[in-house]
């Protein structure tokens, strides 16, 4: 069975649109500030956990009686 | 997927025969994954300067000066869906040496198109679980803890 994704021609790598700016090369000052902001947010949200660890903890919290709620989207 | 699996309630057309057209669709780009001609996955992206689906989830974020400064280069991705039997399964891509999941292939193609559209930032929401791990694998960063939004289209 073959899978076809329309017009796809780059399957060997994946990243956020900002990933190519990891070293800051070519980034504007505004883009650098945006990258720094999101990295700080991520560190604050994950607090050293992997995303999998983070999700397990969140799901356990949301499933608890105190955290019962509609599913997050 | 969103209605049957996640319980979303989508607006219906007046005769209730089908779901009403999404007003953001005409402003968005789509990629579709097909296997043997059958659609098995889809993803949608929108430049927020054209239209901003689910803008209410990003109100606080968009007020940040870091985001305001790059607003014209911000896109949002949503409606990423793959049929259950194709989830988590690496498949061969026609004409390509690499195998990957349909979801990843969709995001690779969507990311490529967004780069062409000069997007520098992509915003999306997801629930804590496999989907969040998937997007983390794609090198996204988490902007905060999960919100407790009520399911909606």
DSSP labels, B10-44: --B-TTSSSBPPPTTGGGEEEEEEEETTEEEEEEE
Nearest to residue B125, comparing CAs of B77, B60, B84, B85? B77
Mean pLDDT of chain B: 84
Cβ contact, residue pair A2, B69, below 8 Å: no
ipTM score: 0.72
Cβ contact, residue pair A30, B70, below 8 Å: yes
Domain count, chain A: 1
* Arithmetic mean of pLDDT, B101-117: 87
In this structure, the number of other CB atoms found within 10 A of the CB of residue B69 comes to: 15
The encoded tokens of residue B84 equal 């259950």
The answer as to whether A9 is a domain residue is: no
pLDDT at A66: 53
Closest CA in chain B for residue A57: B128
Break chain B into its structural domains and give their ranges.
25-136
The answer as to whether A11 is a domain residue is: no
Nearest-CB residue to B69 (from A14, A33, A55): A33
The answer as to whether A45 is a domain residue is: yes
* Arithmetic mean of pLDDT, B112-122: 87
Q: pLDDT by residue (tens digit) across A18-56?
A: 455 555 566 778 888 888 898 899 888 888 988 888 888
Domain range for A37 is 19-65
pLDDT at B62: 93
The answer as to whether A29 is a domain residue is: yes
Top CATH class of B25-136 equals alpha beta
pLDDT at A8: 35
């Amino acid at each position: 069975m073959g899978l076809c994704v329309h017009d796809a021609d780059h399957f060997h790598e994946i990243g956020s649109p900002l990933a190519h700016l990891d070293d800051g090369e070519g980034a504007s000052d505004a883009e650098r500030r945006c990258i720094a902001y999101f990295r700080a947010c991520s560190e604050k949200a994950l607090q050293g956990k992997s995303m999998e660890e983070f999700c397990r903890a969140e799901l356990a919290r949301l499933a608890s009686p105190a955290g019962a709620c509609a599913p997050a989207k | 997927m969103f209605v049957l699996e996640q319980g979303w309630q989508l607006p219906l057309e007046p005769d209730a025969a089908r779901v009403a057209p999404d007003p953001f669709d005409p402003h968005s780009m789509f990629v579709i994954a097909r296997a043997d001609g059958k659609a098995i996955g889809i993803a949608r992206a929108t430049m927020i300067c054209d239209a901003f689906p689910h803008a209410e989830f990003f109100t606080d974020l968009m007020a940040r000066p870091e985001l305001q400064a790059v607003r014209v280069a911000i896109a949002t991705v949503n409606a990423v869906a793959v049929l259950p039997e194709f989830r988590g399964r690496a498949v061969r891509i026609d004409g390509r040496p690499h195998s990957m999941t349909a979801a990843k292939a969709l995001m690779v193609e969507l990311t490529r198109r967004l780069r062409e559209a000069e997007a520098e930032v992509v915003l999306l929401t997801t629930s804590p679980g496999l989907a969040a791990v998937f997007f983390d694998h794609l090198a996204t960063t988490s902007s905060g803890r999960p919100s407790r939004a009520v399911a909606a289209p």
